[in-house]
Chain A
Amino acid sequence: MQNNLFQDQKFRGILYQTLVVGFFALGLYFVINTTAYNLEKRNIATGFGFLNNPAGFDISFSPFLDFKSTDTHLKVYFVGVLNTLLVSFCGCIAATILGFIVGIIRLSSNWLLSRIAYIYVEFTRNTPLLLQIILWYAILIQLPRIKQAPQIWETFYISNRGLFGPKPIFLEGSNIVILSLILGFIISFFIARWAKKRQDTTGQQFPTFTTNLSIIVFLPLVVFFIMGSPITLEYPVLKGFNFKGGAVIRPEFIAMFLALSIYTAAFISETVRSGILSVTKGQREASGALGLKKNWIMRLIIIPQALRVIVPPLTSQYLNLTKNSSLGIAVGYADLVHGFGGISLNQTGQAIECMAITMATYLLISLTISFFMNIYNRSIQFKEK
């Protein structure tokens, strides 16, 4: 009887799965027990109450939230998330632009140019990202000191303490200018939709790009002057050993930004290259035979088809870049891992809570990016009729 049971595939399947669940539950029980014991022995209280305690340390780079050392660990977390998102967002955009340029250069008919792009790709892909971050940082802090900082039009100063520049000061009425800018974007979105619809039905073209550009530029500009220039610039002025006023981009951020975007661009350029190569030669020839102009062929025929191949790996590159931004800890960039998962963890000793929150946040960011990229991916795939 038993022999028969074991030969039954269904029974075996249930048995194996029960065993796996059982072992997992047993392991979990064991881990939770020992952890509870260890925590009690080390006098670590569990729970998330520590989030409301004052942090007691300063964060050098917090462009969005004002941070003082009396602020809570919860605020450290938000500063960290914002810094992670900031460098990832800037990095993704720069990496995409650079990656597309390099990918197209790699296919250039100019042998020397494509070789240079190839060397760039091989060198950046084959050295560790962490090393590149540290190297960029080392180069940036070798820049001249603040006193000897080279300047551009007495507005921008490049020094070993960062890039100093003018800071916009928002006076009363600036809200309306910003609102008009947003309004401009919304209007141009609808114009673009209308123009596409009209072209689809009647074939008539509308100068969408110029119209929209002028709406986005001139509408806020007009409002700006009507409101009596409510936004002014505050320039950095050298006072003693440091600059007074103005805005500063710290070398930690610049190093992270440069390293992340240059490293990821090398990977993106490879996917762009393979995407463009995946469009068959016949497509180019056919569109040429229809009399399309050269840049139209690229824009209307090649790129849309190449994008279908490019977008899925591009998504994983964005995810990689976001996760790699956690390396900011090596140069002291106050991102999620450095600020919350590092300093807060060390100060409070709440290892489990801090790590759990940090990991959950990264999971959430990853899932969000893949969600939006999947929507975009679906919108550019073949629509078979």
Chain B
Amino acid sequence: MENNSNFETRKPPVATTGIIGWSRQHLFSNWVNSFITLLVIYFLYQLIPWFLDWSVFSADFWTNYKGELIVDRTFCSRVADPEGDHGACWAIIIVRFYQFMYGFYPSEQVWRVNLTYFLLVVALLPLLIEKIPGRKHLIKFTIAFPIIAFILLYGGFGFQVIPTNKWGGLLVTLVLGVFGIAIAFPLGILLALGRRSQLPVISMFCTLFIEFIRGVPLITLLFFGMVMLPLFLPEGLNLDGLVRVLVAVTLFQAAYMAEVIRGGLQAIPRGQYEAAQSVGLSYWQMNRKIILPQAIRISIPSIVNTSIGLFKDTTLVIIIGLLDLLGIGRGALADATWMGLSNEVYVFVALVFFIFTFSMSRYSLYLEKKLKTGINMGAD
């Protein structure tokens, strides 16, 4: 007690918690950082209000600034009143929303598409949630889903046949993405196993195939499917345009998938193979029961990443004239009634893609954390 007067009172330590401490640590740790922070804040202050104003507050949705219902580009505020301060004209999306979602699918049959979307979600549930009740039965449905979806979308079995040239918009994007991934995945497993096979001929064939596909751009494969495939097939066998594209996209995806799965296979210690063989399992039994479950588990994050790449790559089909989401957007812009609204269309299409791919990448991150395996093969 008596010594207290001899010591100066120490100042409390600089706050490291709370909002002030946090910003001191992360925003204003030294003068360079403070300067950068202020600069960034200034830019954001300029950018965010401008963007919000353009996209929401000054934008047209159903009606223009005079309150008229927008039916073509001339009604858009920014076209009708170019001097005024008007934002985006989202009416192009609203008016053509049906096309953006389904293309030219007949509207009285569109419930089939919606039902397929719903069933897709049901089919995805057992893949996404591991602890879902009745997972074993749901998985059977997932495996059968592509066939059900095909019958629902295309027709047959009592349904009216809707030819694929009537399909468009998000429907085509999802068909290419989902079918592409669903077929490419098993194909990729076979290719990966083939490449690692002990049989030199099979390994060589698979390696050549994988390296060839990975060495050329997807667009050349699409051209291949469009221009050259008809030459290779006998007369009368005329493959549907969407199917030809799907073949090209699937082969492309399968090669990338194979490399990702091969990475997983390589990570399995040799003891697992030896143990499986020593209990007398055959090659396929060993792979199906011991090796693949572990290898795929390891490579799930990369598989999802590759799938994101495929989903983005489906936009390439517009180059050979298919009308996917981006194609419908371009079609709307080529139409004289809506010309010149490219910013709105492209921002909308980008947003739709972003929603899908961002949730996929979040899911892959979640899996990565759960599986604690950070193997990432740099998939595009």
Contact = CB atoms under 8 A, between A and B. Distances in A.
Nearest to A112: B40
Interface string B207-228: 0000010111111100110011
B354 interface: yes
Contacts of A116: 40
Interface of B: 25-27, 29, 33, 36-37, 40-41, 198-202, 205, 212, 214-220, 223-224, 227-228, 230-235, 308, 312-316, 318-319, 326, 330, 342-343, 346, 349-350, 353-354, 357-358, 361, 378, 380
Contacts of B214: 366
B27 A112 contact: yes
A19 B231 CA distance: 26
Interface stretch (A47-55, A160-168, A250-258, A325-333): A325-333
Contacts of B27: 110-112
A contact face: mostly helix, strand, loop, or mixed: helix
Name the residue among B41, B214, B315 with the largest chain A CB count within 10 angstroms: B315
A352 interface: yes
B357 A127 contact: yes
Contacts of B342: 135, 138
A39 B233 CA distance: 11
Interface string A139-151: 1000000000000
B311 to A, nearest CB: 8
A35 B315 CA distance: 30
A72 interface: no
Interface in A123-163: 123, 125-131, 134-135, 138-139
A363 B220 contact: no
A199 interface: no
A24 B27 CA distance: 64
B358 A135 contact: no
A96 B216 CA distance: 22
Contacts of A355: 220, 223-224, 227-228
Nearest to A132: B350
B290 to A, nearest CB: 19
Contacts of A111: 26-27
Nearest to B233: A34
Given A126-B353, A126-B357, A271-B378, A112 B37 contact: yes
Contacts of B378: 267, 271, 312-313, 316-317
Interface residues of A, number: 57
A13 interface: yes
Nearest 3 interchain pairs by C-beta: A111-B26, A313-B378, A326-B217
Given A352-B231, A366-B215, A122 B26 contact: no
Given A34-B233, A112-B27, A127 B354 contact: yes
Contacts of A135: 342, 346, 350
17 contacts: A38-B232, A109-B29, A110-B33, A112-B27, A112-B41, A126-B308, A126-B357, A127-B350, A127-B354, A128-B315, A134-B330, A134-B346, A138-B342, A341-B220, A351-B231, A355-B223, A366-B215
A16 B200 CA distance: 11
A110 B25 CA distance: 8
A345 interface: yes
Given A21-B201, A34-B233, A126-B353, A326 B219 contact: yes
A267 B309 CA distance: 12
A20 interface: yes
A319 to B, nearest CB: 8
B198 to A, nearest CB: 7
Interface string A1-42: 000000000000100110011001000000100110111010
